[in-house]
Structure 1
Amino acid sequence: MAIDSSIQILHRIRRQYVQAKGLLYALQALAAIAVGVTMLYKWQFEVPVLAATAIAIILAAILYFLMRWSSIRKVDLQQVARHLNRQYPQMEDSTELLLRNLNDLNLLERLQQQRVAATLQELHPEKEKAFSLRSTATYVALGLALVLSAGILYLPAAPLTAVNTPNEIQVVFPNAPATTAADTVTVVEDIDITITPPAYTGKNAYQAESPNIRVEEGAMVSWRIRTNNRAKALQLVLNEDKGTSFSEGDDAYTLSRHFTTPAVYHLNLNGQKSAFYTIEIIPDEAPAIQIKRPKQYTEILFGEPQQVNLQAQLTDDYGIREANMIATVAKGTGEAVKFREEKISLGLNSTRQSYTVNKTLDLQQLGMTYGDELYFYVQAWDNHRGYTRSETYFVQIEDTAIVEANFDMSMGVNPVPEYFRSQRQIIIDTEKLLAEQKSIPRATFEERSNNIGVDQKLLRLRYGKFLGEESESGIGPGGGIPEGAEGHEEHSADDGHDHPEFQNQNDPQALLDPYLHKHDQEGEATIFEPAVKAKLKGALAQMWEAELRLRTHKPKEALPYEYKALRMLKEVQQSQRAYVAKTGFEAPPLKEPELRLSGELNKITPLSERQTIKAETTLPYTRSALDWLERYKRQGKYKPQDAQVLEQAGRELAQQALNRSGNYLHALQDLRQVITEMKGGKKLCQTCLTTVERAWVALLPPAERTPQAQRVQRSKLAQEYRKQLQQ
Structure 2
Amino acid sequence: MAVEQSIHILRQIRSRYVQAKLWLYALQAIAVAAVGIAIFSRWRFEVPVLAFVAISMIIAAILYVALRWRSVSQTSLQQVARHLNRQYPALEDSTEMLLHEPQNLLQRLQQQKIAGVLQELHPEKEKTYTLRSTASYVALGLALVLTAGILYLPAAPLPDPKQSPEVQITFPDAPAAAADTATTIEQIEITVTPPAYTGKKAYKADNPNLRVEEGATVNWRIRTNKPAKALQLELNEQQAQTFKQSKTGYTFSRSFSQPTLYTINLNGQKSAFYTLEIIPDEAPAIEISKPKEYTEIRLGEPQRVSLQAKLTDDYGIREANMIATVAKGTGEAVKFREEKMKLNLSGNSRSYSINQTLDLQKLGMSFGDELYFYLQAWDNHRGYTRSETFFVQIEDTTIVEASFDMTAGVNPVPEYFRSQRQIIIDTEKLLKEQRSISKAEFQERSNNIGIDQKLLRLRYGKFLGEEFESGIGPGGGIPEGAGGHEEAQHFEGDGHDHPEFENQNSPEALLDPYLHKHDQEGEATIFEPAVKAKLKGALAQMWEAELRLRTFKPKEALPFEYMALRMLKDVQQSQRAYVAKTGFEAPPLKEPELRLTGELNKITPLNERNTIKQKQQYPDTKAALNWLARYKQNGKYKPSDAALLERAGQELAQRAVNTPGQNLRALQDMRQLISEVRTGDGKLCASCLATVEHALTALLPPAAQTPQPKQVMRSKLAQEYMKQLEQ
Does residue 1:269 correspond to 2:266, yes or no? yes
Alignment of 1:272-311 (within 5 A): 272-311=269-308
8 A Cα contact 1:237 1:243, kept in partner: yes
TM-score computed with the length of structure 1 as normaliser:
0.76
8 A Cα contact 1:476 1:544, kept in partner: yes
**2:521 matched residue in structure 1:** 522
**1:668 matched residue in structure 2:** 667
**1:703 matched residue in structure 2:** 703
8 A Cα contact 2:470 2:494, kept in partner: no
Q: Which amino acid aligns with 2:598?
A: G
TM-superposition CA deviations, 1:504-562 (whole Å, max 9, x none): 96899985655421246421222222211111111111111222222223323322222
**1:571 matched residue in structure 2:** 570
Correspondence for 1:175 among 167, 173, 176: 173
| Cα distance, 1:592–1:228 mapped onto 2, change above 3 Å | closer
**1:598 matched residue in structure 2:** 597
Q: Which amino acid aligns with 1:621?
A: D
Does residue 1:420 correspond to 2:427, yes or no? no
**1:43 matched residue in structure 2:** 43
**1:320 matched residue in structure 2:** 317
Q: Which amino acid aligns with 1:259?
A: F
Does residue 1:475 correspond to 2:476, yes or no? no
TM-superposition CA deviations, 1:70-114 (whole Å, max 9, x none): xx9xxxxxxxxxxxxxx9xxxxxxxxxxxxxxxxxxxxxxxxxxx
| Cα distance, 1:450–1:522 mapped onto 2, change above 3 Å | same
| Cα distance, 1:270–1:407 mapped onto 2, change above 3 Å | closer
| Cα distance, 1:409–1:198 mapped onto 2, change above 3 Å | closer
Alignment of 1:433-582 (within 5 A): 433-477=430-474, 501=498, 515-519=514-518, 521-582=520-581
* Superposition deviation, residue 595 in structure 1: 3.5
**1:151 matched residue in structure 2:** 149
C-alpha distance in structure 2 between counterparts of 1:25 and 1:607, whole Å: 116
8 A Cα contact 1:42 1:153, kept in partner: yes
**2:206 matched residue in structure 1:** 209
Q: Which amino acid aligns with 1:201?
A: T
Q: Which amino acid aligns with 1:298?
A: T
* Superposition deviation, residue 257 in structure 1: 1.3
| Cα distance, 1:278–1:595 mapped onto 2, change above 3 Å | closer
* Superposition deviation, residue 417 in structure 1: 3.1
* Superposition deviation, residue 677 in structure 1: 3.6
| Cα distance, 1:409–1:191 mapped onto 2, change above 3 Å | closer
8 A Cα contact 2:258 2:278, kept in partner: yes
Structure 2 spans left out of the alignment, 5+ residues = 1-19, 72-85, 87-128, 478-487, 721-727
* Superposition deviation, residue 151 in structure 1: 2.9
| Cα distance, 1:658–1:451 mapped onto 2, change above 3 Å | same
Correspondence for 1:343 among 340, 343, 364: 340
C-alpha distance in structure 2 between counterparts of 1:713 and 1:327, whole Å: 79
* Superposition deviation, residue 274 in structure 1: 1.7
| Cα distance, 1:520–1:140 mapped onto 2, change above 3 Å | farther
C-alpha distance in structure 1 between counterparts of 2:533 and 2:359, whole Å: 38
| Cα distance, 1:57–1:197 mapped onto 2, change above 3 Å | farther
* Superposition deviation, residue 406 in structure 1: 9.2
8 A Cα contact 2:322 2:376, kept in partner: yes
Aligned residues between the structures: 630
Does residue 1:393 correspond to 2:390, yes or no? yes
C-alpha distance in structure 1 between counterparts of 2:301 and 2:309, whole Å: 23
Percentage of matched positions with identical amino acids: 69
**1:354 matched residue in structure 2:** 351
TM-superposition CA deviations, 1:313-351 (whole Å, max 9, x none): 111111111111111111110001111111112245997
| Cα distance, 1:536–1:648 mapped onto 2, change above 3 Å | same
**Higher mean C-alpha displacement, 285-294 vs 146-155:** 146-155
8 A Cα contact 1:46 1:161, kept in partner: no
Correspondence for 2:217 among 216, 220, 224: 220
**1:332 matched residue in structure 2:** 329
**1:366 matched residue in structure 2:** 363
**1:685 matched residue in structure 2:** 684
**2:109 matched residue in structure 1:** none
8 A Cα contact 1:267 1:274, kept in partner: yes
| Cα distance, 1:163–1:704 mapped onto 2, change above 3 Å | same
C-alpha distance in structure 2 between counterparts of 1:673 and 1:616, whole Å: 31
C-alpha distance in structure 2 between counterparts of 1:403 and 1:663, whole Å: 64
TM-superposition CA deviations, 1:555-604 (whole Å, max 9, x none): 23322222211111111111111123333344445445544443333344
**1:485 matched residue in structure 2:** none
8 A Cα contact 1:318 1:382, kept in partner: yes
C-alpha distance in structure 1 between counterparts of 2:132 and 2:302, whole Å: 75
C-alpha distance in structure 2 between counterparts of 1:409 and 1:187, whole Å: 86
* Superposition deviation, residue 169 in structure 1: 1.3
**1:120 matched residue in structure 2:** none
C-alpha distance in structure 1 between counterparts of 2:513 and 2:717, whole Å: 106
Q: Which amino acid aligns with 2:535?
A: L
| Cα distance, 1:412–1:694 mapped onto 2, change above 3 Å | closer
**Higher mean C-alpha displacement, 507-516 vs 168-177:** 507-516
| Cα distance, 1:194–1:34 mapped onto 2, change above 3 Å | farther
SS at match of 1:394: strand
C-alpha distance in structure 2 between counterparts of 1:717 and 1:335, whole Å: 78
SS at match of 2:296: strand
C-alpha distance in structure 2 between counterparts of 1:404 and 1:465, whole Å: 26
8 A Cα contact 1:520 1:526, kept in partner: no
SS at match of 1:451: helix
SS at match of 2:549: helix
8 A Cα contact 1:231 1:269, kept in partner: yes
TM-superposition CA deviations, 1:398-457 (whole Å, max 9, x none): 111222249999956424434311212222222333344444443333332222221111
SS at match of 1:647: helix
C-alpha distance in structure 2 between counterparts of 1:307 and 1:499, whole Å: 48
SS at match of 1:453: helix
C-alpha distance in structure 2 between counterparts of 1:34 and 1:191, whole Å: 44
SS at match of 1:254: strand
| Cα distance, 1:147–1:426 mapped onto 2, change above 3 Å | farther
* Superposition deviation, residue 694 in structure 1: 2.8
Structure 1 spans left out of the alignment, 5+ residues = 1-19, 73-86, 88-130, 481-489, 720-727
